[in-house]
Amino acid sequence: MPSKGVQVEGYCQQYELETVKMWHQSFQRAMGLEEHNRFHELTDHLEYFRSMDPSQSKVAVEMSSAKIVGLLTMSDEELINLFVHVDFQRRGIGKLLLLEAKRQSPEGFFLHTCVKNSQAQTLYLTQGFSEVERSYASAEGNPWATSKEQLADIKYQWSANGYCLP
């Protein structure tokens, strides 16, 4: 059951810094990286986030505190970002965001996750996704990576009818 007291709503600029900090920390934890909020890295993430169409993103907000606890970014048939605040993981927020993604793309969509992110893999498999490919992400777009293993990537797909998308 999705997390009680959490609501998914459209992203707006007032959430920018809190969203990027949450996303940054969640990514660092998933990848086993040193957790920090170095100004230059947050600035880079803010620039990347600002380059995206804000209408493609939704945030999960804990209603009692108005805290950003999740991020979902969709583009056509691709889920680009799904991150949950490290203090709110395993509370159904990832499932809630995936339900929103399925609502936005009812025919189906795909996503990528890092091989190191076993928690995300478990979530996707329990929510009806199928693994369709393994590869390596580009080191060029991932300056945090210090080894090829960190770039190992899995492509998952979800479709309403359970079949692969064309």
How far is Cα of residue 94 from the mean position of the Cα atoms in its chain?
9
Supply the Cα-derived Rg of the chain in whole angstroms. 15
Residues 6 or more apart whose CB falls under 8 angstroms from that of 78 comprise 109, 110, 111
Give the pLDDT score at 3.
67
Calculate helix-pair angle for 93-104, 118-126, nearest 10 degrees. Answer: 60
| Type of residue numbered 49 | F
Q: Residue 41's pLDDT band (boundaries 50, 70, 90)? A: confident
Give the pLDDT score at 71.
95
Q: Is the per-residue pLDDT at 19 higher than 50?
A: yes
Give the pLDDT score at 1.
43
Give the pLDDT score at 123.
94
For 64, phi then psi, to 5°, come to -70, -30
In terms of DSSP bridges, do strands 130-136 and 152-159 run parallel, antiparallel, or are they unpaired?
antiparallel
Identify the sign of the CA torsion 110, 135, 83, 1.
positive
Half-sphere exposure of 55 (CA within 13 A, CB side): 1
Q: Name the more confident of 71 and 144.
A: 71
Per the structure block, which two tokens stand in for 70?
């999740």
H/E element, 98:
helix 93-104
Mean predicted confidence (pLDDT) in 46-71? 91
Give the pLDDT score at 142.
63
Mean pLDDT lowest for which of 4-8, 38-42, 52-56?
38-42
DSSP 35: P
How far is residue 53 from each of residues 2, 16, 50, 66, 80, measured CA to CA in Å? 27, 13, 8, 23, 12
Q: Is the per-residue pLDDT at 105 higher than 80?
A: yes
Q: Is the per-residue pLDDT at 111 higher than 70?
A: yes
